[in-house]
Structure 1
Amino acid sequence: MSRLGPTLVPAATLAVLILAVLSGCATRIPPGMELDTPKAAWTAFRQHYCARPEGDGLRVRASLYYSRTKPTKRTNRTLISLWGDFGGPMRLDVSASIGTLLAHIREDRSGLLVFYPEDNRAYAHKNPVLGATRLGMPFPFSLDTLAHALAGDFSGLAPRRYAEASVEGGNYVYTFSRGQAERIVLDRLGRPVRLEGRTVRSVEDAGRWVFTLDRYEDAGPDQIALPDKLTLAMDNGERGVLHIKSREPMLAPWPAASLALELPGDVVPIRLDNGYADGQTGELPVIREDKQ
């Protein structure tokens, strides 16, 4: 990594910066334009990848490959469906490759609700991130933040301003003094390829996460490319690789019934924010692994 010193600015980038100065605001940078200064790349990132997504919500179908190394080595491959309204309720269904539903998840302002149909048990937590962690799903951010990222909006993770910028290989690296992401790597087109940060838990046990994005789809003129492969890795060895199969913006809010998670009449959610642990095993259920 090298600190940025005086840089020769190419004509195209220089023209963009001059227009920005003359207009008194940030001129829109066309998607797909190669940028040879970190400032221009950051401006492009903020314009293209920190803007409200198209529509009121989305629907995503993907395959998820999960692996961990502690306390025992485990791997599994599942299918997920994520749908919901931006800033509103989010639903996530997890199923085995043969189609058997393993878990139904709902996130809203009241917290997280998870139902395991095979066990006929449900769990709830007022904090979606901590609730998912207690259930063996160490998401460092909420489903809503993940949904925004899948739609190409990283504003929930990226601070507005960076503290320092540097060059690493062919990419630009930005560090931050505050915010959930501590380090962001952009390519020469201003596209995010790596975000790093800490979980929202207390400082004493805060874990680190790395969010890697690649396989950007081909985009037409003036279209913003989105990544088809997203990898989330934790410093405890857990890793999830998400391969996008379909991604659909919803131009109208989802009907309330489509976002509801109705539990069987005999199921009462077990609160995970009351210090609950299974008295027999000392563990909480996790989504079933296919392999060990």
Structure 2
Amino acid sequence: MRPVASPLRPLAALALALALFLAGCAGKPATAPLTDESKAVFATFQAGQTSIPPAPAFSLSGSMSFSRGNRSGRLNYRLFGDYGRTVRLDLTTPVGGAYAALFENSQEFIAYVPSRNAVYRHADTRQGAARLGMPLPFSLRELAALASGRLGALVPDRYAAAKKTADGYQYAFSGNARFTSLTLDFAGNPRHLVGVGVEPWRIDLEDDEAVPGMAAPVARKLTLTTPGGATLTVRVKTLQARPSPYPAADLELPVPPNAVERALDAGGDEPSLPEL
């Protein structure tokens, strides 16, 4: 005798299909909280940036450690000037001797090296510093913005895509000539900034500390890794905002009148800074 088909089987199959469909529909919105959270984290970062009190001038000090191949060293620094105009970077040895003084405005980059009594000039800070053996992917004004926690002045205010990482979200930028991505932790604090290039440079931001007048903590340690394998670690010991610009005389380089003038865009061997 042939078995009689149960009238409940089609209903059971329909119920199973409906359950799977509903489960699938219930699973799809799971991506919505992820998107909402990434937007909220980026919004927290932007809110912290926009709440930074305006300051036309600044003063930073601390130490810089660098390594490139078999060369490494450590210097103390003072970075000061006006955010939008003129900036000066004074470098001294750990024992206090003058090593180099760098100057930047909208027209040129100047470096004075006391041990050579020489002045080097270039129209572009990044190119000039690279020829001196300092492969910085940004200007002195951009370095000041990074070290003082003002990343909002550098990165775009919109991102193309967001990806969740182990410690936060990575925000990718499209069509930006300088930066590829910014990674924020879940509290909206910057953790990594990646530059544009076949072998992009990267900055890691660590050791956050609260700073008076700042809505969000500021990283006290910045580690730059360049495509050539060079690393530069900037430690911020002091950070002060100035309510008014510096007098022009305070930002002038202490160059003796008998110093030798040299152009960094001239042909020949790259001069590089003295060994420490």
Q: Shared fold by TM > 0.5?
A: yes
Cross-structure match for 1:226: 218
Q: Is the 8 A contact 1:186 1:194 kept in 2?
A: yes
Q: Residues 221 and 263 of structure 1: is their aligned pair in 2 closer, same or farther, counting only changes over 3 Å?
A: closer
Counterpart of 2:6?
none
Asked if 1:147 corresponds to 2:144, the answer is: yes
Please identify the structure whose Cα radius of gyration is greater.
2
Q: Is the 8 A contact 1:82 1:92 kept in 2?
A: yes
Instruction: Kindly indicate which of the two structures has a greater share of residues assigned to helix.
Output: 2
| 1:222 to 1:156, Cα distance in 2 relative to 1, 3 A | closer
2:247 is equivalent to residue 265 of structure 1: no
Kindly indicate whether the alpha-carbon contact (under 8 Å) linking 1:49 and 1:191 is maintained by their aligned counterparts in 2. Answer: no
Listed as ranges, the gaps of 5+ residues in structure 1 are 10-34, 200-205
SS at match of 2:253: coil
Task: Write out per-residue CA displacement over residues 175-214 of structure 1, whole angstroms, 9 at most, x where no aligned residue.
Answer: 1112211011100111110000136xxxxxx652101101
1: CA distance between counterparts of 2:103 and 2:112?
9
Specify the alignment match of 1:276 in structure 2: 267
The amino acid across from 1:284 in the alignment is: P
Counterpart CA distance in 1 for 2:148 and 2:211 is: 14
CA distance in 2, matches of 1:177, 1:155: 17
In structure 2, the residue matched to 1:193 is 191
What is the alpha-carbon distance in structure 1 between the residues aligned to residue 151 and residue 98 of structure 2?
30
Scaled by the length of structure 1, what TM-score is found? 0.78
User: What corresponds to 2:180 in structure 1?
Assistant: 182
Q: 1:50 to 1:65 in 2, by over 3 A?
A: farther
Post-superposition shift, 1:55? 1.7
Match of 2:209 in 1: 217
Q: Aligned pair in 2 of structure 1 residues 118, 258: CA closer, same or farther (>3 Å)?
A: same
SS at 1:208 equivalent: coil
Structure 1 residue 7: Cα displacement: 3.8
Task: Say which of 245, 254, 266 aligns to 2:246.
Answer: 254
| Superposition map of 1:1-292 within 5 A | 6-8=31-33, 37-49=37-49, 54-69=54-69, 73-179=70-176, 180-198=178-196, 207-218=199-210, 223-273=215-265, 275-277=266-268, 282-289=269-276
Query: In 2, Cα distance between the equivalents of 1:54 and 1:62?
Result: 23
Q: 1:240 to 1:50 in 2, by over 3 A?
A: farther
TM-score after normalising by structure 2: 0.83
2:99 counterpart letter in structure 1? L
Task: Give deviations 1:101-155, integer Å, cap 9, x for gaps.
Answer: 1001100011100000011111000011111111111110000011112221113
219-228 or 236-245, which deviates more: 219-228
RMSD of aligned alpha carbons: 2.3
After superposition, the C-alpha distances for 1:224-258 in whole angstroms (9 at most, x for unaligned) are 21011111111211001111111111111111111
Q: Could you tell me whether the CA contact under 8 Å between 2:48 and 2:215 is conserved in 1? A: no
Give, as a single letter, the amino acid of the residue that structure 1 aligns with 2:185: D
**In 2, distance between residues paired with 1:254 and 1:220?**
21
- Helix, strand or coil at the partner of 2:152: coil
CA distance in structure 1 between the aligned counterparts of 2:148 and 2:138, rounded to whole angstroms: 15
